[in-house]
Structure 1
Amino acid sequence: MATVHHALVLNLHQPPGNLQELLEHQTWEAREILFALDRIPRSLWGREDLARVHLSLSGTLLETLSDPVFQERVYGIVDCGALLWHLQNQALFEVVGTGYFHPVLPLIPEADRREHLARWLDIARHLLWRPQFQGFWPPEMGFSMELIPLLRAFGYRYVFVDSEHVEPVTEMSWQELRYRPHIARHGDDEIIVVVRDRELSDAQESGMDVDWFLNEVAERTRWCDFAPLVTTCTDGENGGWFRNVTEGANFWSAFYLPLLDRVAAGEADVRPTFVSDYLDEHGVHGEVRVRTGAWNTGWHHGRDFTQWMGSERQRQAVADFAEASRMIHDARWFAGERGVTEGPESDALAEALWHLLRAETSCNLYWGESWVPRAEADLHAARQALERAVSLAPSPTAPEVGSEAEAENEPDVMSATLAPESASARSASHDTESGVRDALPTDPSPDAAVEATSTRGDVDPSATQP
């Protein structure tokens, strides 16, 4: 049997302000998360010969870890500066791109997707000292084929997708479908898709020993007449398996390091690998389609985004994202046409967009309706900022005779009524230039009425209220 290549992928995300809130109200839980993050590079020091880990770090987590105020607050628990420095080790870590505020990309407008991707690249290039990121991690593994042109435009070579949603276009066996990378196409664009093994990933999330993993991988790949790529993807700092501080009782000390020992001793037919290295050596096989969906959660299978869209209030929030996005990007277009790039109007538009993007954080929809008030509060703040921007803009001049066609194509920003607190869904339009990024407002604090905290993993959010 050919050597099995194992791609380990860990998603690391904490929503805006969450670690700060946990430190204030549930200190031990915050420490567990910080220890889990810090444990990743510490566990792998000196293992550069074999260890290979893909990391997705959300923009909000990177922002928190690089914040000098937060760094000072947690110094003595974790040295955030040293942690970020160790994550630059490209012998151990292949960092993959994602969205800044960790949105479920198929559920938000196209113009906002571009903003999330561009802002993540800005902070990741600065903190991690990488000019390019080959792979992409869709937050919550939320993927649709229409994302392919966008991912290619941002330079991504491959994207992770869940095995539940992959369908063959080229004839292939079950083993080939799951354990080989493939091409997926949308229009004139194509991208490599790397398939997450859902069942093995479930085991990685909850806890497994080396013997079980090696036996299971051997059974699943026994009929492969090619070099299989087995990909397991989970959160990397949530749940007791990753947070456990007891030596020999967490993912790293009970599973991954013993696995490396077995590989080094020649007692395992599994070899850790980076996806980029596998692709360079083995290439891709065949074409597939990927159905729209997300990864499985503790409650839902991910096929219809029920986790994030199961209630009317959740669906209304998604509709409100689209409405607010349309108005904000129309207003930004109108300002751009007039050459407005700085000053009070520009600042207000930047603030409106920032609140909108933060509202789209997946955690705001993940916990049923418990966190939807956070999204609603940010949407309200976005509308207020947009109203200020509109009040500062001049009224559009009346079109000259014969210019009706041009006028019809321009967004009627000034006469548009600002969205009510619950607006119906409308499709986003008018793309925005991705080359210029707006500065973040200086006060990112959420509304006091929605200061719940998240731990994801296996903790009910109702138990984490301060």
Structure 2
Amino acid sequence: MVYVRALLDVDSPVHKVGDEVGVKVRLINDSSSSINVNITLDYLLEGRHVNSWTGSALALPGEVTTVNASFTVGEAGLWVIRLNGDAGTSKFTESIKVRVIEGRRPVKLALVYHMHQPPWYMSDGRYYADWAFRYVHAPVMAPFFNGGPYLFHAFLNDKYSGVKVNIHLSPSLLKQWVDAIEKGYTLINGEVHAKGSGEVNAVAKVLDMYRVQANRGQLDVLSSVYAHTILGYLASRYEIIDVIDEELGVGMEVTKSTLGVNPVGVWTPEMAWSMELLDIYEKHKVGYTVLDGGNHFPGVQGDKGSIYEPYSLGGRLTVFFRDERLSNILSFQNNIPDERSAVKLAAMLSRSIIETNGELVVIALDGENFIAMSKTPAMVGLMLDKFYSYLSRMQELGIIETVRLSQVNMSRRSITYIPTTSWLGGFTKWDGERREHAEYWVKVIDSYRYLRGLEDALGGKINEARYALWHALDSDFWWAEFWNPDLINHWVEEFRNILDSRFKIAMRPLREVYRGLVNRPIDVELEFDNDMGVNVKFKLICLDTQLDVVIQPGSSRIKCSIIPRLAGSYRVPIFVTSGNYIYLQSYVTLNVTYGNRDPPNEDSAG
């Protein structure tokens, strides 16, 4: 039976030639008695044995005993430290790698965390789900950390205050935090978390931590559109530019008012880019955004170098491209079975940053999901803590410089085009992977056209309806594996109810049947009841006649001339439209004959 386990670690998995590497051996004695352990550390460079160290330690029962050693690295290359231990009844071996480099300028490292929650609340203020709060206060990462990912990131920022990071706290997440702090929150199942409760106080604490960290210059705070809209898809497929424009303005204001900073950068949700966004970003004075090195960068046009440098898009926006491989190591290689694996992953990630040979390495990923959705969130937390420990030491050694993207001082190549796509290389995750996607997109786009036409008729925006639409468009509700038709339907219905409450016009022809001659005008008279209280402008379409009309409040009549081209008895539709939306529709029957004079109009009973 194995009684003694060993964990091998170094102060930094990257060093410069001539550095002294600190080595730490932690001995864990699982037995009930003390055990003497003999230790040998072999130092190998590219498989060649260079040096050794031997020692011994008394491992106390049920405790962790630490043995420290060090050695100087005189050559560049990949070093391996190999530990062999002899505890009498058990023997063990461990190893860890150290990349040794020649002196060079520090690699700039930008850690970018996209922290987001969709608007989980309903139109009545109750919450469908509480992830915005649960990922603060719940012991998601126990026993390593008593709290959730949002609190853990803030904790790491305080613990490693020399590590600069870039954090996107989505405006819809911030809004939920602020609302909870001000008035508590209630779930749809009736569960109440009152203002001043433990859960709400935890939210207040974490928000204050981020405020302090941002204002002391440790964080770059990125903003975005209010919710988590698939911007590039909406812009390129449906030309919903106005929604993106106004939602970005509101989102940036929420970020500014909540955190007390002016955001320079913007997170593009799902990295869903299209060139139509450039004008909007410029209008709102966005300084930079982050896109994908694997799916966006290959299609970039212009003066291209590598993903490890910033780019100026048309001289109007700085674009950084993330290292997709390194970002995905954190995002998806996160089911970590034990502390040994956590240390090895943190060390490998640290070495990989240097091994890119890039001047600027951007690692960008969801900040909460890679922790909370792991099968081992406690070990992911331990790994991230160790990674930050390495980064701190690598900064002391002049190997890495963690940076805020707004302060990156590097020359920027000029590019002219970035292809329309997402971090996944397309948009089927939100439109195509589920059978219901097509039906719901039709529903949403029809509602949007209803809105635009009614606003044109009224001559102004219906802001409460637009607010509801942002919620229905949140990409998290459309994600195939987390498809949420409940909330999409809820907000679409809220949206349409608002519009229905504003549109109060009825139309009816004064006669059901009109008689006339081919190629001679027939005047159809229509009666309108306008209960909207204001003049509204619509287009009246009677067969091939189109009239711009103003429908006044109350009852009024409008004539529309129809010129029939065929003889016979047939029904003719009459439409009231605005934009490309039909608001009212009716029919009249025409009885049309050939002749030399106009017959009198009369109805079917005549």
Report if TM-score (shorter chain) is over 0.5.
yes
Q: Is the 8 A contact 1:105 1:142 kept in 2?
A: yes
For residues 394 and 197 of structure 2, the distance between their equivalents in structure 1, rounded to whole angstroms, comes to 36
Q: Which residue of 2 aligns with 1:362?
A: 475
Match of 1:84 among 192, 207, 225: 207
Instruction: Give the 5 Å matches for 1:214-253.
Output: 214-221=350-357, 228-240=359-371, 246=378, 249-253=381-385
Larger Rg: 2
Work out the CA distance in 1 between the residues paired with 2:583 and 2:482.
25
Asked if 1:111 is matched to 2:239, the reply is no
**How much has 1:45 moved relative to structure 2?**
1.5
The yes-or-no answer on 1:381 pairing with 2:509 is no
C-alpha change, 1:47 and 1:321, in structure 2 (3 Å) is same
Write out aligned runs for 1:203-282 (5 A).
Answer: 203-205=329-331, 206-207=333-334, 209-221=345-357, 228-240=359-371, 246=378, 249-264=381-396, 266=397, 269-278=399-408, 281-282=409-410
Q: Could you say if the C-alpha distance between residues 250 and 418 of structure 1 is closer, same or farther in structure 2, counting changes exceeding 3 Å?
A: farther
Deviation at 1:107, TM superposition (A): 2.7
**Do structure 1's residue 326 and structure 2's residue 449 form an aligned pair?**
yes
Q: Give the match's secondary structure for 2:349.
A: helix
1:304-356 per-residue CA deviation (whole Å, 9 max, x = no partner) reads 2111112342133334333322321332344345xxxxxxxx8xx33322221
Aligned to 1:371: 484
Letter in 2 for 1:273: V
Instruction: Indicate the residue corresponding to 2:138 in structure 1.
Output: 31
Structure 1 Cα separation of the partners of residues 550 and 252 of structure 2: 32
Structure-2 change in CA distance of 1:306 and 1:409 (3 Å) = farther
Q: How does 1:47-62 map to 2 (within 5 A)?
A: 47-48=160-161, 50-62=162-174
Partner secondary structure for residue 287 of structure 1: strand
User: Residue 440 of structure 2 aligns to a residue in which SS?
Assistant: helix
SS in 1 for 2:148: helix
Contact 1:181 1:194 in 2 (8 A): yes
Residue 35 of structure 1 deviates from its aligned partner by 2.0
Is 1:181 matched up with 2:310?
Answer: yes
Alpha-carbon offset, residue 395 of structure 1: 5.3
CA distance in 2 between counterparts of 1:378 and 1:325 reads 12
Q: Which residue of 1 aligns with 2:285?
A: 155
Partner of 2:536: 396
Whether contact under 8 Å (1:184, 1:289) holds in the other structure is yes
Counterpart in the other structure of 1:134 = 264
Instruction: Compare relative contact order (CA 8 Å, sep 6+) and give the higher one, 1 or 2.
Output: 1
> Does residue 200 in structure 1 map to residue 322 in structure 2?
no
Residues 236, 242 of structure 1: 8 Å contact kept: no
What amino acid is aligned across from residue 220 of structure 1 in structure 2? T
Aligned residue in 2 for 1:287: 415
Q: Distance in 2 between matches of 1:165 and 1:406?
A: 47
2:436 corresponds to:
313
CA–CA distance in structure 1, aligned partners of residues 268 and 537 of structure 2: 43
Q: Deviations over 1:111-159 (max 9, x none)?
A: 11112212212211111112x2111110111111110110010000111
Identity of aligned residues (%): 18
Q: In the alignment, is the contact (CA less than 8 A) between 1:87 and 1:128 conserved in 2?
A: yes
Shift of residue 283, structure 1, vs aligned partner: 2.8
Question: Displacement of 1:53 after TM fit?
Answer: 1.1
Give the number of aligned pairs: 382
Query: Structure 1 pair 397/116, CA: closer, same or farther in 2 (3 Å)?
Result: closer
- Aligned-partner SS, 1:364: helix
Q: Residue 34 of structure 2 corresponds to which residue in structure 1?
A: none
Inter-CA distance 20–323: structure 2 relative to 1 (3 Å threshold): closer
What's the counterpart of residue 441 of structure 1? Answer: none
What do residues 332-387 of structure 1 show as CA deviations (whole Å, max 9, x unaligned)?
A: 344345xxxxxxxx8xx333222211100111111358313421332122112101
More strand by share: 2
Contact 1:112–1:325 at 8 Å: present in 2 too?
no
Counterpart of 1:76, as a letter, is G
Q: How many angstroms apart in 2 are the aligned matches of 1:412 and 1:141?
A: 36
Q: Distance in 2 between matches of 1:275 and 1:27?
A: 29
Deviation at 1:32, TM superposition (A): 4.8
Flag the 1:415–1:326 CA change in 2: closer, same or farther, 3 A: closer
Aligned partners of 1:242 and 1:259: how far apart in 2? Answer: 24
Contact 2:135–2:151 (Cα < 8 Å) also in 1: no
In 1, the alpha carbon distance for the partners of 2:134 and 2:413 equals 48
Please say if residues 41 and 83 of structure 1, whose CA atoms lie closer than 8 Å, have aligned partners that are also in contact.
yes
The letter of the residue matching 2:279 is P
Give ranges in structure 2 of 5+ residues lacking alignment. 1-103, 141-146, 186-192, 235-239, 335-341, 505-530, 540-544, 552-575, 585-606
Equivalent position of 1:440 in the other structure: none
SS at match of 1:213: helix
SS of aligned partner of 2:356: helix
- The match for 1:461 is none
8 A Cα contact 1:53 1:94, kept in partner: yes
Aligned CA distance change for structure 1 residues 384 and 51 (closer, same or farther; 3 Å): same
Deviations 1:39-63, CA, capped at 9 Å, x for gaps: 2222222543x21111111222111
> What RMSD in Å do the two structures reach over aligned CA positions?
3.5
3-state SS of 2:536 partner: coil
Instruction: State the distance in 2 between where 1:47 and 1:369 align.
Output: 34
Q: SS at 1:8's partner residue?
A: strand
Paired residues of 1:32 and 1:245 also in contact (CA < 8 A): no
- In the alignment, is the contact (CA less than 8 A) between 2:163 and 2:218 conserved in 1? yes
Letter in 1 for 2:273: F
Aligned to 2:255: 124
Aligned residue in 1 for 2:560: none
| Residue 97 (str. 1) matches residue 223 (str. 2) | yes
Structure 1: 5+ residue runs without aligned partners? Answer: 296-301, 338-345, 420-466
Find 1:2's aligned residue among 105, 109, 112. Answer: 105
Q: Which moved more, 1:201-210 or 1:356-365?
A: 201-210
Equivalent residues of 2:270, 2:422 under 8 A apart: yes
> In the TM superposition, what is the alpha-carbon distance from 1:417 to its structure 2 partner?
3.8
**Residue type of the alignment partner of 1:307:** K
CA distance in 2, matches of 1:372, 1:388: 24
Larger fraction in helix: 1
Provide the C-alpha distance between the structure 2 equivalents of 1:353 and 1:28, rounded to a whole number of angstroms. 29
Contact in 2 for aligned 1:183/1:190 (Cα 8 Å): yes
Report the TM-score when normalising by structure 1: 0.72
Q: Supply the AA of the counterpart residue of 1:31.
A: A
